Amino acid sequence: MADIHMVREHALGLAAARKIAQGWAKQVEDRLDMTCTCESGHDEDRLHFKRAGVTGSLLVTKDRFELDAKLGLLVAAFRGRIEAGVTKYLDELLTTGQDPLDKLAGKKGPTS
């Protein structure tokens, strides 16, 4: 199995990080047919995600996102593209607070 591991530091605090992680989970459920479950804790949450050929988790803390994914044999051939896409998506989500895929669909992000 191929692995993807990425860590992204942030200064959002836990409440805002949880909100971003919940949005991310909804997007992967809707757009990638993933099943997501969340284990909420006092200082961190862990989102578990899975679908055929992919399993993993996203650790959410007050100052860090840590994603670990295992890719099955068929999906592993696309590891580079998957990792680049997830990295770009998460980086844009963290810097703008808006879902970059909404731009493609012509939607406006949340207003503050």
Element (H, E) at 26: helix 14-32
CA distance 67 to 109: 24
Q: Kindly list the strands in the beta sheet with 44-51, ordered across the sheet, starting from the edge strand earlier in the chain.
A: 2-9, 64-71, 54-61, 44-51, 35-40
Q: What is the pTM of this model?
A: 0.81
Tokens of 33: 């047919």
Domains in the chain, CATH or no CATH each: 2-102 (3.30.160.110)
Residue 18: CB atoms within 10 Å: 19
The rounded percent of the chain whose pLDDT value lies above 70 is: 84
- Does residue 39 register a pLDDT over 60? yes
pLDDT band, residue 88 (cuts 50/70/90): confident
- 42: which DSSP letter? S
pLDDT of residue 62: 96
